[in-house]
Amino acid sequence: MALAQIGVTGLAVMGRNLARNFARNGFTVAVHNRSPQKMHSLIEDHGSEGEFIGCESLQDFVDALAQPRTIVVMVQAGGPTDAVIDALVPLLDKGDIIVDAGNAHFPDTRRREAALREQGIHFVGAGVSGGEEGALLGPSIMPGGPAESYETLGPILEKIAAKAEDGTPCCTHVGPDGAGHFVKMVHNGIEYADMQLIGEAYSLLREGLNLSPKEIGDIFADWNTGDLDSFLIEVTAEVLKQTDAKTGKPLVDVIVDEAGQKGTGRWTVQSALDLGAPVTGIAEATFARAISSQRAQREAAREVLAANASDFHIKDRAGFIEDVRLALYASKVVAYAQGFDQIQAASDEYGWDINRGDMAKIWREGCIIRARFLDRITEAYERDADLATLLVDPYFADAVAGGLSAWRRVVSQAALAGVPAPAFSSSLSYYDSLRAERLPAAVIQGQRDFFGAHTYKRVDAEGTFHTLWSGDRTEVEA
Ligand code: NAP
């Protein structure tokens, strides 16, 4: 029997579909799962889609693979991933490649890569986005790990990845060790921000214009034909148009308003704090999910907290809808700009040399944040690979400027009406902070010097200074 070109261990929803994707693309795939039923059911249900080699034991699995072996591990992140790697490694040879395609936290990937490198095994942490359907039909793949492993792995992954409209595979070597999982993490963080912004647009249209979810769904479907064209807008339109079969109400009205999270948003924000990367949109989105889940606190507050809000008085309904669309677009540009800044900050910190334009390219299809917008980001980095921020690219600077008055109107209307719009408003504050001539940071430096002698710099002289606050308040050079 011919040996397999690739192996997949871990055949739950993701691994099963990835294995099918490999087989459908002409690869012979060795398949293994801790409990063999999942392996048997894959072959029973889909064996006709291509060449599978079913393996009951890890030893059979390893023996079924051509050398150097390429093994995709698709199991639960954390301990289970370590358990599988520990069981595999004694069976492997130098030069073999292990690809962790699960949602690992990037410091774990760095640790695993360093440990396996010592044993001569290539360890590739690969972010895979697109959910179950993406895994089967073409995900966006973000592999990290040693560059030389990509020579073997690249052509295989590129074959099964989604393809952008211009035919480019949505897969590229991101950078060494944990770079792939890092970029996938930020992708998910941006996804949090995007979802929150869309949620806020929904709230504003609902509260401001008294529209039904279905009517808002129709507006989103219309937006999906323009600049905002994206998977997330499309999905939102579908959700809003759905009627609950039990009650006849809009489905969104019978769903409990507590947003769950699996942790990638939190990881993104934690890393951003470490890197000093101000991803305010992602942070607001992550905290907004946390607030939504504070049920007892929300109930207590609802009884007590005053609103002192005025109703929306919107005469120009079409104008308001357009304002919300423009505010959403501008806030979205900010959220993506911040995510790309965080990638750059990590790339500098860890020496990954990540090409941000390539990241925009591989997110154009296959992944959850796929959008027409990513073509614009790709073009922006093609114009200038070293952009200080996406916001200064001429296309985005103009696009945001065009919607700026609308953005300010929407944020102030939301504040006056007492409708929470944390991501819209923090994005606008971020934008204004970037363009401000002077920030109140000078006051903070004064405060710090007053109570902690932390010193400050002057605008008109080199050096570091301290005022003798508890003395005669003269300034000394520190
Ligand atoms: P999952 O529910 O996260 O994991 C189940 C798989 O892990 C099963 O194959 C299970 O084997 C195996 N497993 C668990 N503990 C194990 C251990 N100690 N030793 C060996 N195998 C073990 O599966 P999933 O939803 O398909 O996700 C797989 C990975 O992809 C995860 O890291 C997930 O975060 C990531 N991911 C998921 C999605 C998604 O949309 N679901 C999207 C992107 C990435 P048994 O069958 O024997 O229990």
pLDDT tens digits for 392-405? 999 999 999 999 99
Our CA dihedral for 443, 444, 447, 449, rounded to 10 degrees, sits at -110
For the segment 251-261, the average pLDDT, to the nearest whole number, is 97
Q: Is the pLDDT of residue 1 over 80?
A: no
pLDDT, position 313:
86
Q: Encoding tokens for residue 110?
A: 């760095």
CB 333 within 8 A of CB 344: no
Of 86, 87, 113, 118, residue with least CA distance to 99? 113
246 is catalytic: no
Give dist(CA 195, CA 368) in Å, integer.
10
pLDDT at 282 over 90: yes
Distance (Å, rounded) from C-alpha 465 to C-alpha 245? 69
Which DSSP string do the residues of 258-321 spell out, in sequence order? -----SHHHHHHHHHHHHT---HHHHHHHHHHHHHT-HHHHHHHHHH----------S-HHHHH
CA gap 327, 334 in Å, rounded:
11
> What is the pLDDT of the chain when averaged over all its residues?
97
d(CA 289, CA 268): 14
Q: How far is the CA of 263 from the centre of ligand 1 (A)?
A: 16
User: At residue 123, what are phi and psi to the nearest 5 degrees?
Assistant: -115, 125
The 3-state DSSP class for residue 135 equals helix
User: Is the omega angle on the peptide bond into residue 394 within 30 degrees of 0, that is, cis?
Assistant: no
What is the Å distance from ligand 1's center to 9 Cα? 10
Annotation says 184 is catalytic: yes
pLDDT in tens, 17-64: 999 999 999 999 999 999 999 999 999 999 999 999 999 999 999 999
Q: What CA dihedral angle connects 11, 13, 14 and 15, to 10 degrees? A: 10
Question: What's the mean pLDDT in 70-94?
Answer: 97
Residues with Cβ < 8 Å from 335, sequence gap 6 or more? 190, 193, 194, 197, 279, 281, 282, 285, 423, 427
The distance of Cα 244 from the centroid of its chain, to the nearest Å, equals: 30
Write the pLDDT tens digit of every residue in 105-122.
Answer: 999 999 999 999 999 999
Tokens 């401001």 belong to residue: 208
Q: What is the Cα–Cα distance from 144 to 151, expressed in whole angstroms?
A: 12
What mean pLDDT comes out for the span 228-249? Answer: 98
**How far is Cα 14 from Cα 362, in angstroms, rounded to an integer?**
19
Task: Report whether 315 contacts 208 (CB < 8 A).
Answer: no
Average pLDDT over residues 433-448: 98
For the CA of 38, the closest atom of ligand 1 is: 46
Cis peptide before 68 (omega within 30 of 0): yes
Query: Which atom of ligand 1 has the smallest separation from the CA of 34?
Result: 47
Q: How far is CA 187 from the centre of its chain?
A: 2
CB-based contact 200:281 (threshold 8 Å):
no
> Which element (helix H / strand E) includes 449?
helix 441-452
Tell me how far the alpha carbon of residue 74 lies from the centroid of ligand 1, in angstroms. Answer: 6
Mutate to test the pocket of ligand 1, among 76, 103, 261 (most ligand atoms within 8 A of CB): 76
Rounded distance between C-alpha atoms, residue 360 and residue 385, angstroms: 12
Please calculate the CA angle 267-271-272 and round it to the nearest 5 degrees.
Answer: 115
Q: Quickly tell me which residue has 């897969």 as its tokens.
A: 171
CB-CB neighbours of 157 under 10 Å: 27
Check residue 52 and give its pLDDT.
98
Paired tokens of 36: 């063999």
**Two structure tokens written together for 226:** 């323009």
> Rounded distance, CA 339 to CA 325, Å?
21
**Is 90 exceeded by the pLDDT of residue 342?**
yes
Atom from ligand 1 closest to the CA of residue 75: 7
pLDDT confidence bin for 181, thresholds 50/70/90:
very high
Pocket (CB within 6 angstroms of ligand 1): 10-15, 33-35, 38, 74-77, 80, 83-84, 102-103, 128, 131-132
- Show Cβ contacts of residue 315 under 8 Å, excluding neighbours closer than 6 positions: none
Which pair of structure tokens corresponds to residue 404? 């700026």
Each residue of 227-257: b (16+ CB within 10 Å) or e? bbebbbbbebbebbbeeeeeeeebbbeeeee
For position 210, what pLDDT does the model report?
96
> What sign results for the dihedral spanned by CA atoms 433, 435, 438, 441?
positive
Mutate to test the pocket of ligand 1, among 14, 81, 106, 367 (most ligand atoms within 8 A of CB): 14
The total number of residues written for the chain in this structure: 478
- Could you count the other beta carbons within 10 Å of the beta carbon of residue 135? 25
Tokens of 147: 């560059």
Q: Is the pLDDT of residue 279 over 90?
A: yes
Name the nearest CA neighbour of 106 among 84, 89, 118, 123: 123
CB distance 42 to 11 below 8 Å: yes
Give 178's contacts (C-beta < 8 A, 6+ positions apart).
106, 107, 108, 109, 110, 113, 125, 144, 350
